[in-house]
Every structure is written in C-alpha cells, then in structure tokens.
C-alpha cells in the first residue's frame, strides 16, 4: 500500500529559535522534506534529519526565490510522493503568512494537512522591545494589520478612518517601506501627530534594533537610521512603557558577535550561555574529536590495570573514551580498586565522579606543570606507575616531568583531534560579511585549526578589529605564535572562566 503524504504548516516563530513550539520541533525532527522561508532562523534546521531534503523558498523584500504558485506545486508534488512535508513559515502561518492559501490548495488536492501555530512577531517583537501591546493604563485592544498594502491605491482593504480613531494599539507588519504613506493616512484621518511609535527591526534576534519616535517624525528617523525590513511597527501610548520595561537589549552581551571554535558536540553548552547573555553566537567548530582507529595498545593496558598506582585524566574526552574501552573489555570501576585518580580541571573531575569515582587529586591550576608540582608535594613519585589516557597529540610536558621525577609512565592515545572543515566556505563568507567582536579558543588545537580554516591573511583583514580570548596560558602561547593578540585570558582555566573573561572584556569595552 502506497504511503500517504501529509503537509504540516508550521509556524517557526519570530526569529528567536527558542520560540518555536514543541510540536514544531517534533515535526522538524520527523520531516522528510522541509520547505522554509526567508525569516526562518537557520538554527532551526539543526533539528532536521540529515536524510531530509531541505528547500529554501524565501521571499524577502522585493526579492522572491520562488513564487507562491511554485511553492504550492512543491508541497503537492512531495505530498503525492508520500512524503511528510514541513512547510516552515516565519511567525504564524495564518497571520500574513499565506498559510490559508496553501491550506486551501491542499484541501482542493485532497491532501491531508495540519496547522501548527507559531508565535507572531506582532506580539513577540514588541515584547522583546519592552512594549506590552495592551496595558490597563492605555488600551485593552490591539489591531494587527499589514503595512504592505499601498495606501495610495484607489481600492484599499484598510479602513483608515476607523483605524486612526479606534483607540487600540496598532501593529503593522511589513510596513517599513510604506511608512511615509502610513503616517500620512493616520494623521489625515485624525490621529494626533504626537502619538508614540516604535519600529523593531529583526525582532527577537541578537541584532534587534528598536527605534522610537512619534507619528510626526518616525518616517524621517527610519530613513536617517537606515532601518530596513523585516520590522514590526507599533503605534500607540503603550510605546512609552519601553523606557521602563526594556529587557532584551539590556542583557550584558547584547548584540556582541562571538565565535565559538569548540568541537561541534561540545559547542552548544558554551554557546547557550553566551546567547542567554544576549550575544549573537556563531559556532565554527575547528576540531573534530574522533576515536582511534585501533585500541590495541589501550586494551592491553586495561588488561593489566592492577599494575598501576595512578591514573591521570586530562580531559572529559579522555574519561569518556577510556570508560568505553573499559566496558568493551568487560570491566568496570571495580577493576580500578586501589588505583589513585588524578584529574586536570573540575569538568574532568565531574566526569569521573559521574562514573562513581572519587578523585584523589585535582591541581589548583589546570595545566600539566601544576599536576607535576602537586604530585611531587603529595606523594613519592619514584618507581610509581602512571597510566595517562589522553589525546593523540598532547604536550609532552606531563610525561617528561613525571619521568624526570622517577615515575614510570605509560601514555596511551584514546582519541584524536582533526581539523573540522565542514561548511568552511559558508562560515568564512559569513565572517567576511559580519566580522565578530570576539573569537574564543578552548585549546591550542582550536587556535591552530582556526588559522588553518580562515587563512593567516584574514587575521589582518576580516579579524583586524576582533578580540581573541583564550582559556589558559598554553592556548594563549599557541595563539600568539600564530600571529594573534590575546585580549583576555581566563583566570580559571575552565569554560566558566573563559565565559567570565569574555564578559568582562566586552562590558569594559562598552563602558
């Protein structure tokens, strides 16, 4: 029996990817085809399966990739092939999103469909600008209308006399290009020229801009400040509340563009912290962490674990890969009985504690030199046997330091890092278009691979005004050797320490 296709008209929300509905996220993960619009945040496509077909059908100001008829045909074609199709639309599908037209086409073709509402920018934009569209002191009504309709036409659908006198908050979508005509019509039909107006460009995004004025001067301000679509226009006394209720644009890192170079699987944690503080984060994973081709050496050492006095873990990755092989060899934490555990850094310590282990030693500074110093002051190293499972190309300082102190050390590579060139061209193009304020490095490898990806010449062109921030002295030394000036270094050589260093640097710059 032939599989039945279905089309889901899904509202992507106003731009902030966190504002899509749970149902919308579920459908994106299950979709076989996604047809998305210009105003959809590309980060939402991260939820889509690698096997799904993704089609851009964007319609921006005065520029259409596909006509509405072509979009309709796409939906019909894939649905008739038995595909689960998500039509991902900015805002809400049924609020100036032409979702009603697309649904009608599907009904006529007898194709099953579902509508998943989205948060409209008509409400979210003002909210993110600190403007409540209704307020007991001002109005209990809000009117949402298109600003795209040309008010100079002989036949218009908007009743300007009623609009200008109905005492509700007016919200215009797609109206920036028509602002002079909107202002003229409102004043002509009796609205006071001193009524407050706000224009919110790229609402709910990290580069949101909010311009305020009055009906009398807002069109001139839009031109002077070069405000372009997409934008939400709010007309009414509720705009006055912005002075006290602004929150989104007041976040400490608002509008600051930060590049995170950490491995793809680990980048989201630090990226989200920066985003919560208002930053515009671009993830540019410069390293890819992958298992070794062979674990013959590690497996041999695991079989004689009882010979060792100490295990030293230098990273979370080292912990994870070591315990994977421990399990593969049908062993668990019971086979570590009697072995002392050393961890470099609190994240590594936490990863070990999650495995049910109590860490015996964590140096105050999270570098190899500090480990050697702490061990020397705590135990006798002569003839003690150490197993160090870590990255393939790690520094030799730890190993040589322990050996000089008389310890017997076995270093085993449990994973390796390679340059991640996925989407290199697109990433460099984005950086050229909008250079970042800050690039962060969490290891020497991220610094080396960053330069390999973007090219050394770009340090004096694209990144000439960029601040580079490092997680610690070893990473800083590597970055400097590659021609980068380190503007800030984490006091505590951890991810939270790195975030704190970035925040202090950018807040100081703002002042």
SS3 string, 55-77, reads EECCEECCEECCCHHHHHHHHHH
DSSP structural state of residue 2: P
Query: Active-site residue 1, yes or no?
Result: no
CA distance 292 to 414: 6
The contacts of residue 148 (CB under 8 Å, 6+ apart) are: 96, 173, 174, 175, 177, 178
Question: What is the pLDDT at residue 392?
Answer: 87
Cα distances (angstroms) measured from residue 88 to each of 7, 32, 76, 118, 295:
10, 13, 15, 10, 45
Contact 88, 168 (CB under 8 A): no
Which listed residue (16, 37, 280, 420) is catalytic? 37
CA dihedral 106, 107, 108, 111 (to 10 degrees): 60
CA distance 284 to 54: 21
Residue 199 tokens read as 């224009």
CA distance 175 to 105: 27
The contacts of residue 204 (CB under 8 Å, 6+ apart) are: 13, 14, 15, 16, 19, 121, 124, 125, 128, 248
Alpha helices in 133-217 (DSSP H): 160-165, 179-188
Give 211's strand partners: 199
With residues binned 3-state (H G I as helix, E B as strand, rest as coil), the percentages for the chain, rounded to 5, are 40, 20, 40
The contacts of residue 315 (CB under 8 Å, 6+ apart) are: 344, 345, 348, 390, 391
Q: Residue 264: which of 243, 286, 235, 280 has the closest Cα?
A: 286
CA distance 231 to 197: 13
CA distance 87 to 75: 8
SS3 assignment, position 207: coil
Structural domains in the chain, sorted by start? 6-119 (3.40.1010.10), 123-250 (3.30.950.10), 257-286+420-510 (3.40.50.10090), 292-415 (3.40.50.10090)
Residue 229 tokens read as 């679509």
Which listed residue (59, 221, 288, 376) is catalytic? 59
Determine the distance from the C-alpha atom of residue 23 to the mean position of all C-alpha atoms in its chain, rounded to a whole number: 20
Question: What sign for the dihedral angle of Cα 150, 151, 153, 157?
Answer: positive
| Beta-sheet strand order (sheet of 385-391) | 287-291, 408-419, 385-391, 310-313, 340-343
Contact 438, 466 (CB under 8 A): yes
Q: Residue 296: which of 328, 274, 335 has the closest Cα?
A: 328
DSSP structural state of residue 255: T
Residue whose pair of structure tokens reads 């979009």 in the numeric block: 71
Query: Active-site residue 37, yes or no?
Result: yes
The three-state DSSP-derived secondary structure of 337-374 is CCCEEEECCHHHHHHHHHCCCCCCECCCCCCHHHHHHH
Question: What is the pLDDT at residue 399?
Answer: 87
Query: Active-site residue 174, yes or no?
Result: yes
Which listed residue (16, 145, 174, 384) is catalytic? 174
- pLDDT, tens digit only, all 511 positions of the chain: 677 899 999 999 999 999 999 999 999 999 999 999 999 999 999 889 989 999 999 766 555 678 899 999 999 999 999 999 999 999 999 999 899 999 999 999 999 999 999 999 999 999 999 999 999 999 999 999 998 765 555 566 789 999 999 889 999 999 999 999 999 999 999 999 999 999 999 999 999 999 999 999 999 999 999 999 999 999 999 999 999 999 999 999 999 999 999 887 777 888 999 999 999 999 888 888 899 999 999 999 999 999 999 999 989 999 999 999 999 999 999 999 999 999 988 889 999 999 999 999 888 776 777 778 888 877 888 889 999 999 887 778 888 888 988 889 999 999 998 888 877 788 888 888 889 999 999 989 999 999 999 999 999 999 999 999 999 998 999 999 999 999 999 998 888 999 999 999 998 766 5
CA distance 386 to 134: 67
Q: Residue 148: which of 215, 61, 74 has the closest Cα?
A: 61
The helix (H) or strand (E) run that includes residue 424 is: helix 424-433
The contacts of residue 481 (CB under 8 Å, 6+ apart) are: none
């Amino acid at each position: 029996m032939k599989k039945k296709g279905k089309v889901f008209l899904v509202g992507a929300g106003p731009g902030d990817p966190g504002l899509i509905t749970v149902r919308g996220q579920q459908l994106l993960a299950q979709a076989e085809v996604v047809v998305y619009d210009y105003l959809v945040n590309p980060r939402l496509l991260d939820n889509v399966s690698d096997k799904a077909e993704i089609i851009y059908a964007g319609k921006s100001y005065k520029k259409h990739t596909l006509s509405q008829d072509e979009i309709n045909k796409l939906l019909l074609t894939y649905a008739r092939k038995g595909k689960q199709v998500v039509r991902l639309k900015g805002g809400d599908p049924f609020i100036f999103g032409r979702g009603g037209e697309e649904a009608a086409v599907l009904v006529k073709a007898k194709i099953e469909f579902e509508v998943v509402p989205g948060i409209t920018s008509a409400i979210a934009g003002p909210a993110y600008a600190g403007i409540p569209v209704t307020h007991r002191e001002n109005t209990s009504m809000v009117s949402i209308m298109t600003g795209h309709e040309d008010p100079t036409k002989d036949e218009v659908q908007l009743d300007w006399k009623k609009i200008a006198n109905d005492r509700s908050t007016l919200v215009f979508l797609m109206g920036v290009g028509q602002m002079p005509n909107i202002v003229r019509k409102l004043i002509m039909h009796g609205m006071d020229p001193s009524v407050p107006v706000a224009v919110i460009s790229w609402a709910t995004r990290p580069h949101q801009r909010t311009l305020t004025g009055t009906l009398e001067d807002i069109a001139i301000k839009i031109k002077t400040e070069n405000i372009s679509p997409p934008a939400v226009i709010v007309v009414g006394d509720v705009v006055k509340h912005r002075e006290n209720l602004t929150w989104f644009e007041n976040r400490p890192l608002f509008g600051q563009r930060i590049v995170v170079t950490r491995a793809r699987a680990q980048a989201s944690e630090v990226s989200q912290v920066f985003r919560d503080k208002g930053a515009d984060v671009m993830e540019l994973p410069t390293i890819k962490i992958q298992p070794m081709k062979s674990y013959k050496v590690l497996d041999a050492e695991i079989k004689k674990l009882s010979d060792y006095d100490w295990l030293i873990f230098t990273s979370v990755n080292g912990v994870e890969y070591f315990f994977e092989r421990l399990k593969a060899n049908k062993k668990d934490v019971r086979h570590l009985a009697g072995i002392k555990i050393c961890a470099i850094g609190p994240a590594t310590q936490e990863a070990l504690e999650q495995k049910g282990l109590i860490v015996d030693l964590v140096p105050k500074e999270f570098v190899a030199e500090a480990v050697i110093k702490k061990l020397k002051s705590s135990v006798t190293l002569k003839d003690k046997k150490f197993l160090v499972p870590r990255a393939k190309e790690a520094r030799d300082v730890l190993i040589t330091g322990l050996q000089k102190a008389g310890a017997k050390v076995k270093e085993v590579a449990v994973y390796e890092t390679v340059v991640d060139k996925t989407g290199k061209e697109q990433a460099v193009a984005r950086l050229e278009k909008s250079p970042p304020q800050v690039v962060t490095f969490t290891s020497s490898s991220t610094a080396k691979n960053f330069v390999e990806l973007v090219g050394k010449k770009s340090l004096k062109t694209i990144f000439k005004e960029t601040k580079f921030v490092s997680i610690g002295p070893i990473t800083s030394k590597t970055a400097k050797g590659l021609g980068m000036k380190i503007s800030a270094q984490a006091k505590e050589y951890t991810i939270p320490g790195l975030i704190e260093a970035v925040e202090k640097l950018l807040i100081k710059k703002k002042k």
